[in-house]
Structure 1
Amino acid sequence: MRVDITRLQILAAVNRHGSMAGAADELRYTSSAVSQQIRKLEAELHVALVERHARGVRMTEAGCLVLGRARAIEEQLEGLSGDLEQLAGGYTGTVRFGVFPTFAASLLPEVVIALRESHPGVRLAIHSSRISPLRDLLETHQLDIALTWDYPWNRSPDTELAVHELLLDSTVLIVPRTHRLARQNTIELTDMKDEEWIVRAAGHPTAELLFRCAHTAGFHPKVAIEASDYQETQAMIAAGLGVTLCPRLATSYVREDVVVKRLEASMPARRICAARLRDSKPTIASQRLEHILVNVVDDYTAALTRPARPD
């Protein structure tokens, strides 16, 4: 059954006024136009909806039944209008958000909590993955926002992406708590030239970071182990199997038997950005997420400037 909603609204106006003329005045139609629309509605429903009499019209039993449904439809339409206003205002909706593992393990919970507290109607659909798959998902419109990271030597033009830098994630050194230099505030990379190193496997960019920094410092690092993730790396460091360079964000959770040290020389930092497709207009909800990302990262960087507790 296909029914014109406007004709249902005209029928409701006729019922309110008890006449075609009254409905016509309210709706700014002619009486004949109102009468014509009611007849068309009756034809659509194959039933008489009004009884005409000298003083106006009254609803038939079928007309009363249709009016009941019409009121429910109007309520649904009003609800739909409200829902669309909420969506347009960024108070509801879903944001498809891509993150990489070190961010997911450190700052993502704070982002989710902040968004839930400020905009409980906005839902995050989170996808955690390596950088390359995240870029692919973003470029194929399967994500609204994705976090990316890179170093100065491997930055891509990103002509299709609008990129907002969130953080320059500094490079730090992790050594066993029993290491000879563990109590120093900062360490020169040249002091580590005879150490054995643990690097991320499969050509991870942080492995290239080590080789580039070591080359600048005048030595070739001896790689002892290639590890799959940073928690695995920390366990190996604690066992005395080597040391590592890594982004500071990867040290949000540190074992008690290892320590994180600053390096005296100027070390490359990885750039963490929020990216979206340049030709895709962001929703208000996704803009709210970006605002929260900025606030969470700002709080994180502010915490890094506070005096550290002694090792």
Structure 2
Amino acid sequence: MSVDVRRLLLLADVAEHGSLTGAAAALGYTTSAISQQLRRLESEAGQPLLERLPRGIRLTEAGAALATRAGAIRRQLRAAESDLAEHSGLRAGSLRIGSFPTASASLLPLVVTRFHQRWPDIDLTVHSALLAPLIDLLHSGEVELALLWDYPWNRLRDPGLTSVHLLDDPPVLVVPAASDLPRERPVTMADLADRRWVVRSETHPASDLLLRSCVRAGYEPRITYRAQDYQEIQAMVAAGLGIALAPRLGLTNLRDDVRLVSIAADDDVPHRRILLSRVRDRPARPAAAAIERAFAEVADSLSVSRLGRHQLGSVRDGADPRHAPPEPEDPDDPGGEAFRNA
């Protein structure tokens, strides 16, 4: 049996996208062209690889086995491509990184712009996902680097990963533009005991942050609205349903009818750490090392930019401050369940 490798990879695309139509859209081909190539592959294989159903297709056992092999071939081809990129001095090749929504809307565009200006010939692909899927993408090799995050009570502890601590993302208050809260000075959480609150969904870490911060200040928050994203939070705050506590990077696109109020530095409200992570036993390729430098440069610039050190905090703490050190366990929440959202 002799099969065309390009058709094998096409079968892997169909398996990945779940349909001929999905694969065709992703690859820029027509569905009929995909179908024709796969019929030729079946002829080469000497047996059916797809079952044509009234709605879509299904791989036969032989087709599924070949698709698995094709996936392995693709990974080898990508590895070969990476080798070529190393020898060509970043004048060719690709880089796949992961990010989460609030970083993708704030930090990441600055890094991507800087990277493309320096290395325009590197094909950069970004996968946006939540925390747990991003970690899976790292371990599976689907991305080489990923932006991750953690809080003091739930530190990222994955022995298979190594992480660089880029910056701290502090929480700030979102209040109506005409709020009676002060404009010129920070407030404490204790000052807000009589306020109503707009928060993210109950399972979201920002909701946990609010509860922990309020309980530490001696009260439980009175929740009036649970939102699905930070734009929705801003809208409900503007409508007067309450105020909100949110990470600063989640508020890049601020509405005109809300404003931000800082939390007093000595109030000890936890900051979110923004991390850049990769698999520990996979040395960074030149393209990955280049974008790591871009991330570090942008993080440094943010710490003294219009966002301000009082908002993004210093990221240099300790002998090797860009590497996230292990943190002591929180006695009130040992271990903690890994967060699912960003």
Number of the residue aligned with 1:24 = none
- 8 A contact 1:88–1:284 mirrored in 2: no
The two structures have a TM-score, normalised by structure 2, of: 0.63
Number of equivalenced pairs:
227
- The answer for the alignment partner of 1:305 in structure 2 is 308
Give the Å deviation of 1:139.
Answer: 1.2
Q: Give the whole-Å Cα distance in 1 for the aligned partners of 2:309 and 2:225.
A: 34
Gaps of 5+ in 2: 1-79, 312-342
Flag the 1:192–1:287 CA change in 2: closer, same or farther, 3 A.
Answer: same
Find the counterpart in structure 1 of residue 211 from structure 2.
211
Show the counterpart of 2:14: none
Give the structure 2 partner of residue 270 of structure 1: 272
* Structure 1 residues 218-273: Cα deviation after superposition (integer angstroms, max 9, x where no partner): 11101111100001100000000111111111121111111111111222110110
Matches within 5 A, 1:183-262: 183-262=183-262
Give, in whole Å, the separation in 2 of the partners of 1:198 and 1:290. 36
Q: Paired residue for 2:290?
A: 288
1:20 aligns to what?
none
Query: Residue 281 of structure 2 corresponds to which residue in structure 1?
Result: 279
**CA distance in structure 2 between the aligned counterparts of 1:134 and 1:226, rounded to whole angstroms:** 25
Distance in 1, Cα, partners of 2:286 & 2:86: 10
Residue 91 of structure 1: CA displacement?
A: 3.5
Amino acid at match of 1:109: P
Contact 2:201/2:228 (CA < 8 Å) preserved in 1? yes
Distance (Å, rounded) in 2 between the aligned partners of 1:191 and 1:184: 15
Query: What are the superposed Cα offsets for residues 201-229 of structure 1, whole Å, 9 maximum, x if unpaired?
Result: 14111111111111111111011111000
Q: Which runs of 5+ in 1 are unaligned?
A: 1-79
SS of corresponding position for 2:90: coil
Distance (Å, rounded) in 2 between the aligned partners of 1:141 and 1:202? 32
Q: Indicate the RMSD between aligned Cα atoms, in angstroms.
A: 2.0
Q: Deviations over 1:179-209 (max 9, x none)?
A: 1114342112111111111111141111111
Tell me, in whole angstroms, the C-alpha distance in 2 between the residues paired with 1:291 and 1:282.
Answer: 12
Relative to structure 2, which stretch is displaced further, 86-95 or 122-131?
Answer: 86-95
Identity %: 40
State the distance in 2 between where 1:251 and 1:115 align. Answer: 24
Query: More strand per residue: 1 or 2?
Result: 1
2: CA distance between counterparts of 1:306 and 1:87? 40
**Counterpart mapping for 1:1-311 below 5 A:** 84=84, 87=87, 89-264=89-264, 265-303=267-305, 304-305=307-308
1:109 Cα deviation (Å)?
1.7
3-state DSSP of counterpart to 2:304 = helix
Q: Determine if contact 2:151/2:273 at 8 Å carries over to the other structure.
A: yes
Q: TM-score, normalised by structure 1?
A: 0.69
What whole-Å deviation, never above 9, does each CA across 1:20-52 have from its counterpart, x for those lacking one?
xxxxxxxxxxxxxxxxxxxxxxxxxxxxxxxxx
Instruction: Tell me the SS of whatever aligns to 2:134.
Output: helix
Report the Cα distance in structure 1 between the residues aligned to 2:86 and 2:206, rounded to whole angstroms: 43
Give SS of 1:263's match: coil
Q: Name segments (4+ residues, structure 1) moved above 2 Å.
A: 83-92, 182-185, 304-308
Measure, in 1, the Cα distance between the counterparts of 2:166 and 2:310.
Answer: 23
